Chains A and B, each alone.
Chain A
């Protein structure tokens, strides 16, 4: 993130019916916390807690920030580096996601972007360049312990598939330590709710997909837990009338066939929902069936 963005790190507070909406910008998304309270000072404090944590996570794990820990890890690929407890825990989670998905969810797969620019053009890469990129992909090629990490030179870690969801869950954790007031944390469509609202009313959130018109936005009704959305938005390649989605099969290096445009998944925690949404998308044409079989609540747009 640029320094200019950091200069605009502010939290706005707006009163609404029954409470306040705190908003700020982090991780390339509009982030909001809606809290049901008439205590404005508390609302402002809650907004600051959420924002500071989101900005902290962004500063630490963004691959776009050359000063982040993520960039440091990537720059030092090939060397054994020290990691802290939080990073270890994230690697552990990513590791289990890798295992659960049998290698389909892989935080080292970001490097495939170099072969697949997904800019809406028809630059479908050659098989050779995809094969070349695949050499640097594979969570099984890394090794780590509670305080060290090493991966092959040329590999890259990308927390992009987890970071925003992790920030949502961290916000829920921190705010719930501060207050009992019911609240909703929504970071660009990845969201979680906490507490019981007046009359046990649910939260209703419209989840819009950047490339879709509003008629296709998903209205999610939520009393507890979290939802996260994965989709290919307007990131695709178009060649010979074939739409190559930006969802890549990590094993082949080629796009998944016919995934939903967007899939929204419910789970107790946002990071779980995020993983499940991504995992479903990777199932391509079987995305919805996969979630149905797993008995997981979801909303899909095709």
Chain B
């Protein structure tokens, strides 16, 4: 059989024929659309702080692989937080950080300051694009504001692919500037909290004598170097080193430390004081391994700083996909840190005051673990819904300082339980 149609005809006719069937745009520009992630998270500590956070993040990918990320986060924080003082066998009265009024803590209870309620709004933007061959650059900024706190940062990153994209080296830098302006001003370090009759006409003057200004600031520079290596079809490994240096005000103006007599009884509460320089080194390793039955994501972080805090974090997640597109992901995280060199749970009244001191359990010796589960499901049209529920347990520990007198009878290192619940919807 011989066809009469000539060759140009056949090809041209075919193109026309399949155009009608498939449209002519198969190789034309793709649609540039936004992808959104929304999440609501609730964090609640038993009898303490609870926080609700709402996140809306949008990602837009442009035709030449440029990516714009925008994110808005709103946090609402309420509840009580330890003020740093030790529990006592007798009730204790504290002046609020604002100087407006006082609160009393029952005998035997860890003193909690219940004035915490704040709303934070955070805006984040990031622009990522390929540059030259094998390079990807990214720049971004972040701004967050709450009642007494402002934070702004800028960052830049560059990544280069080698070895057919099996190896990626990246370097990044960021600069952040934070300002704190607590209601009631900045307390004078190591001065004693004024705890008298708040209705006394001299109270305000006395309170103001413990104040040294209205605001303080700090600046942070972070450097990050990383390598990502594809090992084989199943495995990818990432190693990062980061260096961070902070200078400025790192004291928590809301935290105090109990000054006790030889019998452990609180005689005064001193405002804490922390060094104004801090340098951190962090080493991070992560691997993802694709098993037939799921994906293991395991990571380890070691952080050490010149405050003598060393910490280790182990994190394991195992994503188990189901054939219907649903997945379940168990999560386990373990964290342990040593205390800062200036951490102590209380000060002995008759000893010389140290230059720097804090009784904030968050920079004391501390172990925490988290266990949780995430469940996700596709909702059609590429939309996804997922739920996360986690239990978090904190165990502050003694750094070796012996309790004295009545402090032996109270709990100096109260454990904390918290629940984290999150719903995420991506569309």
Interface residues of A (CB under 8 A from B): 9-10, 13-18, 36, 38, 40, 45, 48-49, 89-90, 92-93, 96-97, 100-102, 104, 166, 169-170, 172-173, 176-180, 194, 198-199, 201, 249, 267-269, 271-272, 275-276, 282-284, 286, 290, 293-296
Select one of B14, B165, B382 contacting A18, CB under 8 A. B165
Contact A294 B7 (CB under 8 A): yes
In the assembled complex, B354 has its CB within 8 A of some CB on chain A: no
Select one of B4, B17, B22, B234 contacting A97, CB under 8 A. B17
In the assembled complex, B325 has its CB within 8 A of some CB on chain A: yes
Which of the listed residues B3, B323, B382 has the most CB atoms from chain A within 10 Å of its own CB? B3
Q: List 28 A-B contacts (CB under 8 A).
A: A9-B323, A10-B323, A14-B290, A15-B233, A15-B290, A18-B164, A18-B166, A45-B382, A92-B17, A96-B13, A96-B14, A96-B16, A100-B5, A100-B13, A173-B22, A178-B382, A180-B63, A198-B161, A198-B164, A269-B18, A269-B22, A272-B14, A272-B17, A272-B18, A283-B1, A284-B1, A293-B7, A296-B11
| Distance, CA A295 to CA B64, complexed state (A) | 34
| Distance, CA A275 to CA B63, complexed state (A) | 32
Given A100-B14, A269-B22, A294-B10, are A17 and B166 also a contact pair (CB < 8 Å)?
A: yes
Q: A40 CB to closest chain B CB, in angstroms?
A: 8
Given A14-B290, A169-B22, are A104 and B1 also a contact pair (CB < 8 Å)?
A: yes
| Closest residue of B by beta carbon distance from A269 | B18
| Distance, CA A93 to CA B14, complexed state (A) | 9
Select one of B22, B30, B235, B295 contacting A180, CB under 8 A. B30
B20-38 vs A, CB cutoff 8 Å, 1 = contact: the mask equals: 1111011100110000000
Contact B21 A179 (CB under 8 A): no
B220-234 vs A, CB cutoff 8 Å, 1 = contact: the mask equals: 000000000010011
Contact B20 A93 (CB under 8 A): yes
| Closest residue of A by beta carbon distance from B65 | A180
Given A14-B290, A18-B166, A198-B164, are A294 and B17 also a contact pair (CB < 8 Å)?
A: no
Contact B230 A17 (CB under 8 A): yes
| Distance, CA A100 to CA B295, complexed state (A) | 51
Residues of B within 8 A of A295 (CB): 7, 11
In the assembled complex, B15 has its CB within 8 A of some CB on chain A: yes
In the assembled complex, B248 has its CB within 8 A of some CB on chain A: no
Contact A93 B234 (CB under 8 A): no
| Distance, CA A49 to CA B20, complexed state (A) | 22
Residues of A within 8 A of B234 (CB): 15
Select one of A17, A90, A101, A290 contacting B233, CB under 8 A. A17
Given A15-B236, A290-B3, are A199 and B164 also a contact pair (CB < 8 Å)?
A: yes
| Distance, CA A16 to CA B106, complexed state (A) | 62
| Closest residue of A by beta carbon distance from B23 | A173
| Distance, CA A276 to CA B7, complexed state (A) | 12
Residues of B within 8 A of A38 (CB): 165, 236
Contact A93 B5 (CB under 8 A): no
In the assembled complex, B61 has its CB within 8 A of some CB on chain A: yes
Contact B30 A179 (CB under 8 A): yes
Contact B233 A169 (CB under 8 A): no
Contact B22 A271 (CB under 8 A): yes
B140-164 vs A, CB cutoff 8 Å, 1 = contact: the mask equals: 0000000000000000000001001
Contact A170 B11 (CB under 8 A): no
Contact A282 B233 (CB under 8 A): no
Contact A276 B14 (CB under 8 A): yes
In the assembled complex, B378 has its CB within 8 A of some CB on chain A: yes
Contact B65 A14 (CB under 8 A): no
Residues of A within 8 A of B22 (CB): 166, 169-170, 173, 269, 271
Contact B26 A173 (CB under 8 A): yes
Contact B26 A172 (CB under 8 A): yes
| Closest residue of A by beta carbon distance from B22 | A169
| Distance, CA A97 to CA B11, complexed state (A) | 11
Given A16-B233, A18-B164, A48-B325, are A272 and B20 also a contact pair (CB < 8 Å)?
A: no
| Closest residue of A by beta carbon distance from B64 | A180
| Distance, CA A10 to CA B321, complexed state (A) | 11
Q: A179 CB to closest chain B CB, in angstroms?
A: 7
| Distance, CA A295 to CA B8, complexed state (A) | 9
| Distance, CA A90 to CA B21, complexed state (A) | 6
7 cross-chain pairs, A with B, having the tightest CB-CB distances, nearest first? A96-B17, A10-B323, A294-B7, A93-B21, A272-B14, A89-B21, A16-B233
Contact A92 B21 (CB under 8 A): yes
Q: B263 CB to closest chain A CB, in angstroms?
A: 61
| Closest residue of B by beta carbon distance from A292 | B7
Contact B1 A194 (CB under 8 A): no
| Distance, CA A198 to CA B164, complexed state (A) | 7
Q: A134 CB to closest chain B CB, in angstroms?
A: 16
Residues of B within 8 A of A269 (CB): 18, 22, 26
Q: B32 CB to closest chain A CB, in angstroms?
A: 10
Q: A84 CB to closest chain B CB, in angstroms?
A: 13
| Distance, CA A284 to CA B2, complexed state (A) | 11
Select one of A17, A198, A268, A282 contacting B15, CB under 8 A. A268
| Distance, CA A101 to CA B166, complexed state (A) | 47
Q: A293 CB to closest chain B CB, in angstroms?
A: 6
